[in-house]
Chains A and B, each alone.
Chain A
Amino acid sequence: MTQLVVELRNVNKKFRGKHVLHNINLKVYENKVYGFSGPNGAGKTLTFKTILGFIKPSNGEVIVEGKRIRKDTMFAENIGFSMQEYGVLGDKTATENLILLNMLNNNAETSDMSMQQLLSYVGLDHHNNDKIKNYSLGMKQRLSIAVALLNDNDILIFDEPTNALDDSGQEFLVALVNDLKLKGKTILISSHDKTFLNQVSDHIFKFNEGTIVGEQVL
């Protein structure tokens, strides 16, 4: 039987009196792809940040793999995430950044080779020696995905990964999500692109004004 890995129970969030998340209830089962659709400001990114523990719900519970976030643990422990606002060092190369993040997060030594394999997996293998500050937005997006995959976590969150990707980039992303699903990963992915979400998702949550207004099983 598929296991429940993430659950949000009546999650509400208020910022300075404004209700930004409203009674969010959702369940995420392992090895499925969940699409999060909706306009800007609908609450998709905020929901992701709540799952990760970066935001504390005003009330309600977030449970990731049996642990209550911001209660049993501050941050979700087994989730890799890609969010553009969280940056890497612009003056370093992608390999240097990945090695640094891996060493600090996991107290682990890493070989250049394994990082280059990861960069190759996201299509950045020809840019190993380029500094990040010279990357295009699409390349930064791919690097952000590589960062999410760095720890080989079972659950992955991709926030608007289609932004700044051209057609070939989107095709690559569809193939990547399908491959990750084959590897047993659980994926939560937000996008404005409905066609993309329909291509990759098993289940879509539709967000509007801080609440889930609909669900679709594909």
Chain B
Amino acid sequence: MKLQHYYLLLKRNRILYWEQIRLKFVIVTLVYVMLLLQGRYQQQFYGIFYGVVQAPNDFVMPVQWFLMMLLPSIVVGDSFNQLVKIEYPLLNGVGLGMYVFSIFQIIAEMLFMFWLLWILIPGSNHYYWFSLILFLNVNLGTFIFSLISLFLPPAIVYFIAILLTMMTIADNNLPILSQFMLSRFDSNLMVNLINTVILILIVIILFSCIRLIEFTQIRK
């Protein structure tokens, strides 16, 4: 596929994607801005992304962190599923892998906007490495969420996303996911590399399953 045609594909899919998420995006952006402004005066970046280290026999719910992590998946919702199962068939001359990749790029663009809010609004941020790894991991996590949505009903996919986020909050040493919290973040390069490679492998495994999907979705 020529680069010029890939840009056209991106342009077409951007239109369809934003048609689906526009309202959710505006609401979530407003929620983020409010949370981040509140955090700016109280705890700055550190406090917002600190998360929690649970003490024995105690449970603390880090609401800000919970919302920061979960809301991107809420915005993406079922849009990836719709974009693939309804909007792809007319373009089946384009490789399905290339098509899915173009949607990943559009999701990454949206997450980049959220990430800019995360790092710019809270004021001083000395956690550059964490910020970068968080952006990468949130992207990979959202891709995984999107790919799973091709195979399972939306309610179950949301349930899985909430369950994983809650498990991360409850368990101080949950592999990979604990790295999403500043309080538990290990800045060791090797640890981050291994975590990211594992997430990339999950994306690749799910990506290789896209040949199994069936285009039976009903337009919403």
How far, in whole Å, are A100 and B10 apart by their CA atoms in the complex? Answer: 12
- The reply to whether B214 and A75 form a contact with Cβ atoms under 8 Å apart is no
With both beta carbons as reference points, the residue of chain A lying nearest to B90 in the complex is identified as A86
**Is there an interface contact between A89 and B214, defined as CB atoms closer than 8 Å?**
no
- Flag the segment in B91-99, B112-120, B156-164 that touches A: B91-99
Within 8 Å of chain A (Cβ to Cβ): is B212? Answer: yes
Besides A75-B92, A86-B86, 11 other A-B contacts (C-beta < 8 A): A49-B216, A53-B92, A54-B214, A55-B216, A86-B89, A87-B86, A104-B5, A105-B93, A105-B94, A106-B93, A107-B5
CB-CB under 8 A for A104 and B8, given A56-B212, A85-B86, A147-B90: yes
B215, CB-defined interface residue at 8 Å: yes
Residues of A within 8 A of B1 (CB): 107
**B2 & A104 in contact (Cβ 8 Å cutoff):** no
B contact set with A: CB distance below 8 Å: 1-2, 5, 8-9, 12, 15-16, 86-87, 89-94, 96, 211-212, 214-216, 218-219
The verdict on A101 contacting chain B, using a C-beta distance below 8 Å, is yes
Instruction: Give every chain A residue within 8 A of B12 (Cβ-Cβ).
Output: 89, 100, 104
Question: Given B9, B90, B92, B212, which contacts A88 in the complex, CB threshold below 8 Å?
Answer: B90
Most buried by B among A52, A86, A100, A101: A86
Q: Which of chain B's residues have a CB closer than 8 A to the CB of A55? A: 214-216
Asked if B91 and A107 make an inter-chain contact with CB atoms under 8 angstroms apart, the answer reads no
Measured CB to CB, the closest approach of chain B to A28, in angstroms, equals 20
B212 with A104: CB separation less than 8 A: no
A15 to B92, CA, bound (A): 23
Interface residues of A in 39-83 (CB under 8 A from B): 49, 52-56, 74-75, 83
Chain A residue numbers with a CB within 8 Å of B212 are 56
User: Is the CB of A91 closer than 8 A to any CB of chain B?
Assistant: yes
A105 to B98 alpha-carbon distance, docked (Å):
12
Task: Please name all residues of chain A whose beta carbon is closer than 8 Å to the beta carbon of B215 when the two chains form the complex.
Answer: 49, 54-55
- Docked Cα-Cα span, A74 to B213, in Å, equals 11
On whether the beta carbons of B216 and A87 are closer than 8 Å, the reply is no
CB closest residue in chain A, given B215: A54
A74 touches B89 (CB 8 A): no
Query: Number of contacts between A and B (CB, 8 Å)?
Result: 57
Within 97-147 of A, Cβ neighbours of B (below 8 Å) are at 100-101, 103-107, 147
CB-defined contacts of B89 to chain A, threshold 8 Å: 52, 54, 83, 86
- The interface residues of chain B lying within 8 Å CB-to-CB of A53 are 92
Selected from A49, A52, A87, the residue in CB contact (under 8 A) with B87 is: A87
Known: A89-B16, A147-B90. A74 touches B96 (CB 8 A): yes
Q: A85 and B8: CB pair below 8 A?
A: no
Residue of A with least CB distance to B4: A103
Question: What chain B residues lie within 8 Å of A100 (beta carbons)?
Answer: 8, 12
- 23 residue pairs of the A-B complex, CB under 8 angstroms, read A15-B216, A52-B89, A56-B214, A74-B96, A83-B89, A85-B219, A86-B89, A86-B90, A87-B86, A87-B87, A88-B90, A101-B91, A103-B5, A103-B8, A104-B9, A104-B93, A104-B94, A105-B92, A105-B93, A106-B93, A107-B2, A107-B5, A147-B90
Q: Pick from B5, B8, B94, B211: contact of A74, CB below 8 A.
A: B211
Distance in angstroms between the alpha carbons of A106 and B5 in the assembled complex: 10
Cβ-defined contact, A105 with B87, below 8 A: no
Residues of A contacting B86 with CB < 8 Å? 85-87
Interface residues of A in 137-188 (CB under 8 A from B): 147, 151
CA A103 – CA B7 in complex, angstroms? Answer: 11
A49 to B218: give the CA distance in the assembly, Å: 14
A4-39 with Cβ < 8 A to chain B:
15
Closest 8 CB pairs of A and B: A105-B93, A54-B215, A75-B92, A86-B89, A86-B90, A55-B214, A104-B94, A104-B91
